[in-house]
Structure 1
Amino acid sequence: MKRLSIKARVTIWYTLLVALIAFLAALVLFLSARRMMHNYYLETLTGTAQLALDDIRMEDGELEIDRDLDELPSVRVALFTTSGELIYGRVRFDLPFVEGEMRTATERSGGEWYVLDTRMEFDGAEEIWLRCYISADAAANLGALSMELAALILPMLVVLAGVGGYFIARRAFRPVTRITRTAESIIDGADLQKRIALEGARDELYRLAKVFDDMLDRLERSFERERRFTSDASHELRTPVAAILAQTDFALSELATPEDRMEALRDIRLRAGQMSTLINRLLALTRMDAGQTRVELERIDLCDLAEVVAAQIEDGAAERGMTVALSLDGPVWARCDQTMLTQALLNLAENAVKYGREDGHVRVVAFARDGEARLAVEDDGPGISPEAMPHIFERFYQGDRSRQAGGAGLGLSLVRLIARLHGGRVEVESTLGQGSRFTIALPLEGGETENVGGG
Structure 2
Amino acid sequence: MSDWTLWLILAGVIFICLCVCVGMWMYTRSRFIRFSDNILNSIRLIENGETLLENVNEDSLEGKINAELAKLCKAYHHAENTSVSQKKEVQQIVSDISHQLKTPIANIVMYNDMVLGRKLERDEEEKYLLIMRAQVEKLHILVQDLVKMSRMESAMIVLEQGPENLYQCLAQAVAGITAAAERKGLHMEIECPEESLVWVDKKWTVEAIGNVLDNAVKYTGQGGHIYIRVNPLEMFTRVDIEDDGIGIEEKHYSDIFKRFWREAKVHENEGVGIGLYLTREILTRQGGYVKVESIPGEGSCFSLYLPSEKAGTL
Task: State the TM bucket, normalised to the shorter chain.
Answer: 0.7 to 0.9
What is the distance in 1 between the residues matched to 2:40 and 2:193?
A: 63
What is the distance in 2 between the residues matched to 1:397 and 1:167?
A: 56
1:263 equivalent in structure 2: 127
Q: How do 1:148-227 and structure 2 match up within 5 A?
A: 148-171=15-38, 174-182=41-49, 196=50, 204=67, 213=77, 215-227=79-91
1:431 equivalent in structure 2: 295
Equivalent AA in structure 1 for residue 175 of structure 2: A
1:30 equivalent in structure 2: none
What is the distance in 2 between the residues matched to 1:146 and 1:330?
A: 102
Equivalent AA in structure 1 for residue 220 of structure 2: G
Q: CA deviation at 1:445?
A: 1.0
Distance verdict in 2 for CA 1:433–1:215, change over 3 Å: farther
Equivalent AA in structure 1 for residue 169 of structure 2: L
Which structure dedicates a bigger proportion of its chain to helix? 2
Q: CA deviation at 1:156?
A: 2.9
Q: How do 1:13-412 and structure 2 match up within 5 A?
A: 141=9, 145-171=12-38, 174-182=41-49, 196=50, 204=67, 213=77, 215-329=79-193, 331-412=195-276
What is the distance in 2 between the residues matched to 1:281 and 1:174?
A: 51
- SS of the counterpart of 1:442? strand
Distance verdict in 2 for CA 1:169–1:387, change over 3 Å: farther
Q: CA RMSD in A?
A: 3.3
Structure 1 or 2, whichever has the larger Rg, is 1
What is the distance in 1 between the residues matched to 2:22 and 2:140?
A: 80
Q: CA deviation at 1:282?
A: 0.9
What is the distance in 2 between the residues matched to 1:423 and 1:347?
A: 18
Distance verdict in 2 for CA 1:394–1:447, change over 3 Å: closer
Distance verdict in 2 for CA 1:319–1:219, change over 3 Å: same
**Alignment check: 8 A CA contact 1:244 1:268 kept:** yes
**Alignment check: 8 A CA contact 1:349 1:364 kept:** no
Distance verdict in 2 for CA 1:242–1:168, change over 3 Å: same
**Alignment check: 8 A CA contact 1:395 1:413 kept:** yes
Equivalent AA in structure 2 for residue 149 of structure 1: I
Identical counterparts, % of pairs: 24
Query: Any stretches of 5+ residues in structure 2 without a counterpart?
Result: 59-66
Q: CA deviation at 1:145?
A: 4.9
Query: Any stretches of 5+ residues in structure 1 without a counterpart?
Result: 1-73, 75-108, 112-134, 183-195, 449-455
Count of residues in correspondence between the two structures = 302
Equivalent AA in structure 2 for residue 260 of structure 1: E
Equivalent AA in structure 1 for residue 19 of structure 2: L
What is the distance in 2 between the residues matched to 1:167 and 1:418?
A: 56
Question: Comparing both chains, which one has the higher relative contact order based on Cα–Cα distances under 8 Å and sequence gaps of 6 or more?
Answer: 2
What is the distance in 1 between the residues matched to 2:290 and 2:14?
A: 80
Q: CA deviation at 1:164?
A: 2.5
1:187 equivalent in structure 2: none
What is the distance in 2 between the residues matched to 1:425 and 1:270?
A: 34
Equivalent AA in structure 2 for residue 156 of structure 1: G
